[in-house]
Amino acid sequence: MKNKNLLEQLRNGEQLRFQEQLLLTIQLSIPAILAQISSIIMQYIDAAMVGHLGANGSASIGLVSSSTWLMGGLCTAAGTGFTVQVAQKIGAKEDQKARSIVRQGLAAVFLFSCVLLLTGVGISRRLPVWLGGDTVICPDAASYFMVYSLFIPALQLNSAAGGMLQCSGNMKLPSILHILMCFLDVIFNLLLIFPTRQIWAAGVELTMPGAGLGVTGAALGTALAELVTACLMLYFLLVRSPMLHLRRGERLALDTKDLKRALKIAVPVGFEQIVMCGAQIMSTKIVAPLGTIAIAANSLAVTAESLCYMPGYGIGSAATTLIGQSIGAGRKDLTKRLGWLTTGLGMAVMTGSGVLLFIFAPFMIGMLSPDPAIRELGARVLRIEAFAEPMYAASIVASGVFRGAGDTFVPSCMNFFSMWLVRIPLSAFLAARLGLEGVWIAMCTELCVRGALFLIRLKGRRWQHAV
């Protein structure tokens, strides 16, 4: 494929014209963007299906959502320590070493996910109570988190294997499998959430089988979709990948240098996930006293905005692959240039999405709620956020650039600074004076500050020699 040929030229030290660099970036970004969008769509599907169970069903999942995000974030962090090394070894044409890191990485993250599994199962019954959940929703919330925890190894291996395939330059296959996961999620949810029922299709009455497991069925449906996708992802990584598939005579051998390097990359990313989840919980507490309309508008506006920044995360994934292979290949001439190219592309794309967000804010909120008060307030805060999209893109994509270089400690510290020293204090100050709009002004301000910090870091040279 064309993008593979361009990656080979990069690894071979051949000159890449600006148009070729841009084409390579776009070709790697598009599949990753589709994968990010598919994950958001899957969240929409789950929310819509569970919404049919009533307010208690949605509330029970919402209660533990920050905890599931944290678990998922820690899984992503654990895999990052190895995927970055895979990209750099492939860039250096050390395919055998890359395969060694794949084997070590899969073994290490599986063991880590088992620790998370045991931790999650151990706290699942108490967690809803610790989070202050109403006694009516606590049983369903505990059941949801229990099922989620039991399938964490599938989530972990899916994430790690997909990341390794992406870092080898294969962006399309993981994207296709993530889209497949969305369809599987719908099918499993239909069969597990609702009881057996009669439906009409093309004027014919049919019997739709169902387990009637409710909220537990939602967790199980998503978990089974993750499990099937993880198995397929591992198959294509370990059997079909031209560079990374298992070879006879190559066995698992732990290398302390590789493991230490993985920890050096992964620990700051894990810390960053904890910081972000903690800040989200604190933001929720700031919004909560503003009333039911503000809480609902805030939640729906966050959901609506997520579609706008998914392109940034897709381009960030492509940036990790490009920078990792460039550094591995010793292409100092390309590393910084590609860093600015990917970041600039992300800012341009998300500037466009910000314009669309500003124009279509009422329509986007209107799709999620029929309540006029919620729609009016939600549209106002979305239009505030639209102005932050270009700088938000800078932080997202530059973070992918730094990750490809193995530079995760300083970016994690910058995220901590911007979230806890800018957003949270400013939100608390403005919420009492301007309500929900004040909270979103604080968010917009913080994202601009964060983007500026990441651009300053990108301008320097230290990130290229982080690991």
Among 70-74, 180-184, 295-299, 393-397, the range of highest mean pLDDT: 393-397
- The mean predicted confidence, pLDDT, of the chain is 87
Among 55-69, 132-146, 157-171, 282-296, the range of highest mean pLDDT: 157-171
Indicate whether 269 belongs to any domain: yes
Least confident of 84-93, 106-115, 126-135, 370-379: 126-135
pLDDT for 30 equals 84
Indicate whether 466 belongs to any domain: no
Mean pLDDT of the 196-200 span? 80
Indicate whether 38 belongs to any domain: yes
pLDDT for 148 equals 94
Burial class (CB in 10 A: 0-12, 13-18, 19+), 252: exposed
Decide: 405 and 335 in contact? Cβ < 8 Å.
Answer: yes
Residue 216: what residue type? T
Q: Which of 388, 405, 424 is nearest to 312 (CA)?
A: 388
Of residues 334 and 122, more confidence is placed in 122
Burial class (CB in 10 A: 0-12, 13-18, 19+), 253: exposed
Q: Identify the sign of the CA torsion 178, 217, 149, 299.
A: positive
Indicate whether 145 belongs to any domain: yes
Among 58-67, 284-293, 416-425, the range of highest mean pLDDT: 416-425
Would you call 207 helix, strand, or coil by DSSP? strand
pLDDT for 340 equals 95
pLDDT for 1 equals 46
CA distance 271 to 4: 34
Indicate whether 115 belongs to any domain: yes
Instruction: State the first-to-last Cα distance of the chain, in angstroms, to the nearest integer.
Output: 31
7-16 confidence digits (pLDDT tens):
788 887 788 8
- Tell me the residue ranges of DSSP E strands in 257-404: none
CA distance 99 to 108: 14
3-state secondary structure 28-95: HHHHHHHHHHHHHHHHHHHHHHHHCCCHHHHHHHHHHHHHHHHHHHHHHHHHHHHHHHHHHHHHCCCH
* Containing structural domain, residue 155: 2-461
Least confident of 137-141, 418-422, 448-452: 137-141
Indicate whether 419 belongs to any domain: yes
pLDDT band at 228 (very low <50, low <70, confident <90, very high): very high
How many structural domains are present in the chain?
1
Indicate whether 172 belongs to any domain: yes
pLDDT for 25 equals 87
pLDDT band at 413 (very low <50, low <70, confident <90, very high): very high
pLDDT for 27 equals 82
25-60 confidence digits (pLDDT tens):
888 888 878 777 777 776 666 666 776 676 677 667
Indicate whether 467 belongs to any domain: no
Residue burial 145-172, b: 16+ Cβ < 10 Å; e: rest: bbbbbbbbbbbbbbbbbbbbbbbbbbbb
pLDDT band at 289 (very low <50, low <70, confident <90, very high): confident
Mean pLDDT of the 285-301 span? 79
pLDDT for 240 equals 93
436-448 confidence digits (pLDDT tens):
999 999 999 999 9
CA distance 221 to 71: 18
Residue burial 397-434, b: 16+ Cβ < 10 Å; e: rest: bbbbbbbbbbbbbbbbebbbebbeebbbebbbebbeee
Decide: 206 and 360 in contact? Cβ < 8 Å.
Answer: no
